[in-house]
Structure 1
Amino acid sequence: MLTAGDEYPIHQTPEPIAYSGSDRNFYDRYFYNGYSADGSVFFAAAMGVYPHLNVIDASFSVLRNGKQSSLYFSRPLNMERMDTFVGGFSVEVVEPLKRIRLQVKETEGIAFDAEFTGRSFPIEEPRFTRRQGPRMLMDLTRMTQNGRWSGTLKIDGEEIQLDPASWTGTRDRSWGVRPIGAPDAQPLIPPLDPQFYWIWTPTNFPNLSLYFHVNDDAKGDAWNKRSVLVMDGAKQGERLHLDEAQMKVTYAPGTRRMAKATLNVKDGQGNPHAVHFEPIGTFLMKGIGYGHAKFRHGMSHGDQLVVEREDMDPNAAWNIPENLHIQEIVRARHEGPGGLASEGIGVFEQLFMGPHGPSGFKSILDGAA
């Protein structure tokens, strides 16, 4: 089947763009977040294309005044990957790798129309490849970019202007293989208890962006990690790799939620730097489909467009599996040699499931001592 994408020089296999190899879990995804300078208003959005499930879905969620409000959209893909819209939700590439327009036409009291402009060229994170026994769990590439927002957010009669002087955030694009849609009915042999330890902290400072992420195994050994600094206006490859990056997390007693954290790194000259993170608000990632009981990414909802709003308490119990994956909105303070210091804002994304030796976690959901 030929589609609009076949008009562009973007083929990755000998087949038409409608097909993406043979793995049913192949996906292609947009993610966005944005926040006011004081962190009092936060939003996130996502759109996923699942070629072999023939589904496209999207979501938009706003956190403010202690309440999180989400919209979920889903429809058949009809094998056309270039139609980046679901109901009133759409993504438009205005300038590749630089400017994106995100729109949500007014739907159940929520509307959004804004442009994201990258502060520098996106970074490419190391390829994520992880197996569970013989089965591929993840095999994907992701690019990440901090930027500024300009536009309008409307929710339940209130209109909020997004001024690029004060509204920042992060977007990413990822594609490859990860668990999507209905889970595999065939169990692993032998069965394995779930384990995933993930931290991702894109942070906006006044004239630069800090990126750090880590995936640890049960022993605490990192199987994917990187930390870089990128100055505003930097071109591809113009980034400073930070060495010996270690994130020390202090958990709220009896939970797996971060109470505070410090990233220790060294620059190219061996000078030590520390970045301290303090949470100021919790955003549930199920609000944009991650682990959601009904609107999990890639789930089929029939042969017609489905749209639904859901309001949720962001401070709901942490130890419910669908509440494990969160983004904490964080204040960040950088302290460097010679009294160097600066203040920033960003997110501390966490998904802590199963054992993790350095944290003292021994089972799937035990809390910190």
Structure 2
Amino acid sequence: MITSFDDYCIHQTSQPIAEPSQSDRNFYDRYWFNGIQPDGDWIFEIGFGLYPNRRVMDGHFSVAIGDKQYAFHGSRRAPKERGETVVGPLSIEIVTPMRAIKVSLAPNEHNIECELLFTACSIAHEEPKNLMYDDGHVIMNNSRFTQMGYWEGFFSIDGKRYEVKRAIGTRDKSWGVRPVGEPAGGAPGLLNNDPGVYWVWSPVNFGDVATQFGTFEDRDGHPTQVSADLVPLYDNPDDIPALEEPGVIKMTEAKHTITWNKGTRRAAAAQMHYEDKDGNSWNVSAEPIQRFYMLGIGYNHFEWGHAYWKGELETGREEWNFSDVNELDYQFLHTHQVIKATMKDSKGVTRQGIGTLESIVIGRHTTSGFKDFFDGAE
């Protein structure tokens, strides 16, 4: 099927652009963004995904304000044109590739709206590929980049308007294969013998530089993937290098420690230690100041999960009071938290920053003291 994108010199396979290079039904292309008020009073997040082999496109906009979180969800039959990134009233517009992206949620029956512009202040920094097998079958194989920036615009909830002025932003873009949508049939995979996941990810804006850290660990706390980098930030987007960033410092060692809130799997504090090949070191201490539950943008959601077929076009609204949330409910285990961070390096420089601490721990994790599938910290 030929579409307008086939007119560009961007082909990576012999197929038209509308046809993925593989038939895996979980092939996807996805945007994620967040925006943080520096005092942590609110955080908004956007998720937007295309699943061409499932013929689904979905999008979400969610805001945590004080002790409450609101969410808009939308899902539709996927369009063939890759430039059509619209789900009902929610749209993503690439104003300038890798530099400016506009997110709009037009007036709608759910009374959640936004008009927001993300402007980059760093390169789009490629992270390690995620590759995971289950009994010889690839269940995750994707690429991702992360980029720092700032937001301008507004969002509104039930008619109350919140101005967004230089809110601290992070975005990522990922594509490939990962578990999404309704589960596959047939015999269960071998991972069901000891199921679980441990993932911690933390981009932090320190003004002139950002730290980017991420790790998967096995059930006994051994890293199966870990990376950390120091990435320069720019006041003027025109100063951002076009492709490679010579100022990136890649860490040869990255360690972390999480302290968990009692009775939960939500982080109460975090410590990171990084070292580069020359022996320079950086220590980061992070204090969460606001929480955000990822089911607000479809993660682990039983009804609005990523790539679920909802019909030709469906939209919905949800809200949660944090005091009513059962934090050991599977749907609420995956969290982002706004963090205040202090970074001290081996040269005596101290920086203050604001960022995101993502964590999801399902199943046994010996290092954290989790013994069962959903037990909380002691």
- One fold, TM greater than 0.5? yes
* Distance in 2, Cα, partners of 1:352 & 1:163: 34
Per-residue Cα deviation, 1:219-265 (whole angstroms, up to 9, x for no partner)? 22212211111111353232111232101111122322211110011
- Is 2:312 the partner of 1:311? no
Residue 16 of structure 1 and its aligned partner are, at CA, apart by 1.4
Cα deviation per residue 1:261-319 (whole Å; 9 max; x = unaligned)? 100112453133210111111100000000111000000012x2111111113451111
**Aligned mates of 1:314, 1:170 — CA distance in 2:** 24
Provide the rounded CA distance (Å) in 1 between the counterparts of 2:140 and 2:322: 28
* Cα displacement (A) at 1:118: 1.1
**Counterpart mapping for 1:107-256 below 5 A:** 107=108, 108-164=110-166, 167-190=167-190, 191-233=192-234, 234-235=240-241, 236-238=244-246, 239-256=248-265
2:280 corresponds to which of 256, 271, 275? 271
Q: Secondary structure at the match of 2:367?
A: helix
- 8 Å CA contact 1:283–1:314 kept in 2: the answer is no
Distance 1:158 1:363, change over 3 A: same
* Farther-moved stretch of structure 1 (41-50 vs 308-317): 308-317
| Aligned pairs (5 A) from 1:18-29 | 18-20=18-20, 21-29=22-30
Contact 1:150/1:162, CA 8 A, preserved across alignment: yes
The residue that corresponds to 2:367 in the other structure is: 358
SS in structure 2 at match of 1:343? strand
| Kept in 1: contact 2:129–2:141 (CA 8 A) | yes
Give yes or no for contact 2:57–2:87 (8 Å, CA) kept in 1.
yes
Secondary structure in 2 matching 1:292: coil
Q: 1:284–1:314: 8 Å Cα contact kept in structure 2?
A: no
Q: 1:336 to 1:19 in 2, by over 3 A?
A: same
Taking every aligned residue pair, what percent have the same amino acid on both sides? 37
Give the conservation status (yes or no) of the 8 Å contact 1:278–1:331. Answer: yes
In structure 2, the partner of 1:32 is 33
Count of residue pairs brought into register by the alignment:
366
Task: Please report the TM-score for the alignment, with normalisation by the length of structure 2.
Answer: 0.93
RMSD: 1.5
Distance in 2 between residues matched to 1:83 and 1:352, nearest whole Å: 35
**TM-score normalized by structure 1?**
0.95
- CA apart distance, 1:189: 5.0
- What stretches of structure 1 of length at least 5 have no aligned partner? none
